[in-house]
Structure 1
């Protein structure tokens, strides 16, 4: 036991001596270590600020029309907004090509809603975010606006036709209701002409009453259709942009601060390695 106690101080003394030598060695070459680290930082800053092509990111948020149709179905429009079918002609309208922007992404951000079928995503009239990147923030701004303007033009044109069709149907239903009112008035007039009910007239009166009931039922059905169609027209909400893309895009690369931090760590590690490597080579 006494031998172990005597051996421990020697071991720790040797360890402390080695550690002290390492610290003194690093201190002796402190200017080299600091200089190489600072040089690495400067090179990283100059290269990141002047030689790396910057990349910008911009986005917008839209809400589709709430009327059922091809241009309000959330899932399909989410794919259409980033497809060449829409992007190529949209960019062509502003004299840009598809290489002007890259990394085009869309995301459905509608909340779940409770329907008769249970919880589900917004099938129609959903909210979608469109995001893109480019090396030129001005072209990126123009491109995003061009894409959304092209989609808005198509959407408005599509739903204008649907609304016109619904209005024509509404007019037709209204005309049918007016014709039914005339038929009902005529039928009531016929009934009023029967002052006395005889056996011969009973059958005629029964037939007239049946006709009146049918006309009244048909009118109620037309009125229900009329109210439903009128409600759909009044409740229609067109496509709209909730958040327009800002003119000044976010610069996402190069991340100069991150590059400087990495360069500082690498410069420090390299300088320390060189110091110890030179020491090792001298001892050999």
Structure 2
């Protein structure tokens, strides 16, 4: 039986606009990827979600993005590498303020949206994300793990830099045969049948293969399973995944702990 982390993207709102059901998801997940203001989130939301996470014993991670509020961070961008590194560090540092105020610290980093997908293949941008993470690690007081797609340039760069590289799988996203995600701009990119999503999560954790968008099969090894917080019914879906994983004998536990533990 496996020990697995269940993560979700949280705090994805801005001002009076709210997208994710943070309270319900925090009752289910073990790790929270909190938006840091560049694709979603604002200071009030970041503070509130950190406080909610601490009250429930959920580990906090910084979900960093391109500076793209209008596009929800889902548009790939050409950003000078030094600027990208600084913006990654800036976002982590902003969340760290609210994490510390709530009684914890940022425990890991995960890119969001287009930045996540870009750093699967783009070695230069992957290195910039790693550089920004290492800059922020000095403020946190420990090397921050980076979460990403198995086999990605990001995880290779993280490992080469001495950071923990955490492999992640998506039960609600379609895969190509090479293990990359099907872009959201293409048909069938999102798996929206709850029964299929749950079955895929169980297969991934058990080391079994899942179907790819072309009809092939793929084995996705991962330490963490993601449920997208903006998926309709995400909280209920995450709760069902949690129940099924526990029922199958798996343990749910965050892959990272606050740096002082």
Shorter-chain TM range is under 0.3
TM-score, normalising length from structure 2?
0.19
TM-score, normalising length from structure 1?
0.18
Q: Which structure: greater helix fraction? A: 1
Which structure would you say has the larger RCO, counting Cα contacts within 8 Å and 6 or more residues apart?
Answer: 1
Q: Which structure: greater strand fraction? A: 2
Larger Rg: 1
